[in-house]
Amino acid sequence: MAIIKTKNLTKKFKDLLVVDDVNLEVEEGECFGLLGPNGAGKTSLIRMITAVSPPTKGDIWILGNDLGTYSRQVKAILGVVPQLDNLDEDLTVLQNLMTFARYFDIPKNEAQRRSMEVLSLFELQNKCNSQIRELSGGMKRRLLLARGLINMPKIMVLDEPTIGLDPQAKYLVWHKLTELKSQGVTQLICTQNMEEATVLCNRVAIMHQGKILSLDTPQELISRYVGNEVWEIELDSEERDRTVKELESRGLDFERVGGKIHVFHIEAEESISGLVSSLGRLRRRPATLEDVFFRLTGRSLAE
Amino acid sequence: MKFPSWHSIRVWQRNRDVFFRLWHSEAPGFIAEPIIILLAMGLGLGAYIGLVDGQRYIEFIAPGIIASYAMFSASFECTYGSFVRMEYQKTYDAIIATPLSIEDVTAGEIFWGATRSLMTGTIILVIAAAFQLVPSPWALIIPILAFLEGLMFASIAILFTSIVPAIYSFNYYFTLFITPMFFFSGVFFPLSSFPEIVQTLSWIAPLTPVVHLTRALINGEFHPNLLWALALIIVLSALFFSVSLITMRRRLTT
């Protein structure tokens, strides 16, 4: 059964259509990634799913419950990690967690136990009595993640969970999220980090201008839109036009990226051989989700 | 319109915890300042003023000081305080992602603002009593009145907070609404000393009925008109409370 399901979900701000008729099903226990450039509508979609912002049109069901009717019950099983830091600056680290636990009606002893547990999970146990403003950006992010776990959620909704983290902290977070998934916690992650999506997500949806353009496992998306490898050709401008013509006549799938040409879906090496005189200008590398992202959402800035 | 639930107590508890952590930074505003005003005006200016309505000047102004500073407490709490929580600290955003609703947050903020009025009103009452300015035992009801007054002013303040574009807008609120009430609601001089038109206008000011009621309780002297004063406070509280629930939801969901 889909643990999160949306039907014709739409959000409009005045005349601006931010989320456009999205139908989505997230399966129980999976990690589902939402990818898209800035302004694609990811955060708006997540805000609707977490019952913070009402849809202009459409429905959302979480665990089969209509969100419009059961928002309080649904929010009790969600762990939300927002993109922007909204820790309570008037309270210490531990008080932040204790106060948050109280919003979920968790009794004090239990709240105390869980607070210490989630703090040590993200290696913040020494910061219990620190003020929020004394924490580094990375620590704040980890505290936000810890706070999102205080109610032992069935579903975690994470908006850019590792943004601004150093590589050490990023891997710590990925590791913890993978552990949580193995414990059966469903995850919905918004991210612009393609590596993150590849590492964590069972399935990803690529969003652009409020719509979901494509949805599948990262591997399947890569082989569908790019193939397993990308050939990069670097050429001078006069040679480039000639090569482009040649690529077109061979019927190959390619894209011009600045001074380079990326060629996709090369099944056999012969199809590209003889294309450039010096092999030093030809480079093949494994295809990534980022290639898919560019192919689907274009290379120009969205905003 | 959606209604708040008992969960709003969680917001009240959050604000209470923060207040008792940082109360020393607030104390000058709600303890020192009213005492200074009471003594400076009451004794200083009072030396030049004869009896007002048969009372010493300091006795005359004590009830109004209690009512005014109770008003200030709820008003500051639910304007600057709430705005900072809402816009700068994003505390509301964090809370509404938990089982609490926007209405729970709004109501919790208003109840906390009212509690601030209760605390301020009670503290000044005790100080006034220590200066032997509180003759009647009816004054024991004043904390309840201060809470009710707080509900009214917190609701008006939250309504304003839910519609202002920026924190600077509160200058208008205090300069054009709160401060004039401090002078034209019968705190420092009997309303009868004003021209007819000002007297009528001052009855529109929500502080006026509170000052009349507080003065009556302190002196133990009642008048049938006071029922109208009480009714006015209740009606205004209910009205602004309800409207602020709607405007706050609108603000936080768009």
Residues in chain B within 8 Å Cβ distance of A82: 93-94, 97
Q: Residue A187 forms beta bridges with which residues?
A: A31, A156
CB contact under 8 A, A75 and B97: yes
Instruction: Work out the pLDDT band at A233, boundaries 50, 70, 90.
Output: confident
Please state at what angle helix B102-130 crosses helix B57-76, rounded to 10 degrees: 160
Q: What is the pLDDT of residue A136?
A: 92
Confidence bin at A236 (pLDDT 50/70/90): confident
Q: Which CATH class is domain A2-222?
A: alpha beta
Contact list in B for residue A99 (CB cut-off 8 A) is 13-14, 17
Helix (H) or strand (E) holding A261: strand A260-264
B253 near A CB under 8 A? yes
Q: Which of A78, A82, A102 sits opposite B13 (nearest CB)?
A: A102
Mapped onto helix, strand or coil, the DSSP state of residue A285 is: strand
The greatest distance separating any two alpha carbons of chain A, rounded to the nearest whole angstrom, comes to 73
Q: In what order do the strands lie in the sheet with A16-27?
A: A16-27, A2-13, A57-62, A65-66
**Mean pLDDT along residues B163-191:** 92
Q: Is B17 on the interface with A (CB under 8 A)?
A: yes
Q: What is the mean pLDDT of residues A99-119?
A: 97
What's the CA gap between A293 and B144, in Å, rounded? 62
From the CA of A287, how many Å to the nearest CA of chain B?
Answer: 38
Total number of residues shown for chain B: 254
Mean pLDDT of B36-43: 90
Using one digit for the tens of pLDDT, what is the confidence trace for A207-218?
A: 999 999 999 999
Q: What mean pLDDT do residues A188-211 have?
A: 94
Distance CA(A297)–CA(A190), nearest Å, equals 16
Cα(A280)–Cα(A272) distance, integer angstroms = 14
Spell out which residues of chain B touch residue A95, defining contact as CB-CB under 8 Å. Answer: 17
Give the pLDDT confidence score for residue A94 in this predicted structure. 97
For chain B, state the CA radius of gyration: 18
pLDDT band at residue A88 under the 50/70/90 scheme: very high
Distance from CA of B96 to the nearest CA of A (A): 6
pLDDT of residue A266: 80
Q: Residue B121 above 70 pLDDT? A: yes
Supply the pLDDT for residue B190: 86
B200 at interface of A, judged by CB pairs closer than 8 A: no
User: Which amino acid makes up residue A30?
Assistant: E
Residue whose tokens read 């106060």: A99
* Radius of gyration, alpha carbons of chain A: 23
List the one residue out of A287, A162, A143, A152 whose CA is nearest residue A224: A287
Which band of pLDDT confidence, cut at 50, 70 and 90, is reported for residue A112? very high
A90–B89 CB contact, under 8 Å: yes
Cα–Cα distance, A36 to A18 (Å, whole number): 13
Instruction: Please tell me which residue of chain B has the smallest CA distance to A149.
Output: B98
pLDDT band at A302 (very low <50, low <70, confident <90, very high): low
Per-residue pLDDT at A257: 80
C-alpha–C-alpha distance, residues B186 and B194, integer Å: 10
**CATH 3.30.70 residue ranges in chain A?**
229-286
**Is B69 a residue whose pLDDT tops 60?**
yes
**By the 8 A CB rule, do A80 and A149 touch?**
no
Q: Which residues of A touch B94 (CB under 8 A)?
A: 82, 86-88, 100
Pairing of strands A186-191, A155-159: parallel
A234-243, B118-127, B227-236: least confidently modelled range: A234-243
Residue whose pair of structure tokens reads 């599948």 in the numeric block = A216
- Find the closest chain B residue to A98 by CA distance: B14
Q: Name every chain A residue with its beta carbon within 8 A of the beta carbon of B21.
A: 90-91
Instruction: Decide if B16 touches A, using CB distance below 8 A.
Output: no
Does the pLDDT of residue A202 top 90, yes or no? yes
Dihedral, CA of residue A108, residue A109, residue A112 and residue A118, to nearest 10: -110
Residues A163-181 pLDDT 10s: 989 999 999 999 999 999 9
Which residue in B89, B98, B253 is closest to A88 by CB distance? B89
Q: CATH 1.10.150: does it fit domain A229-286?
A: no
Encode pLDDT of B218-247 as tens digits.
Answer: 999 988 889 999 999 999 999 999 999 999
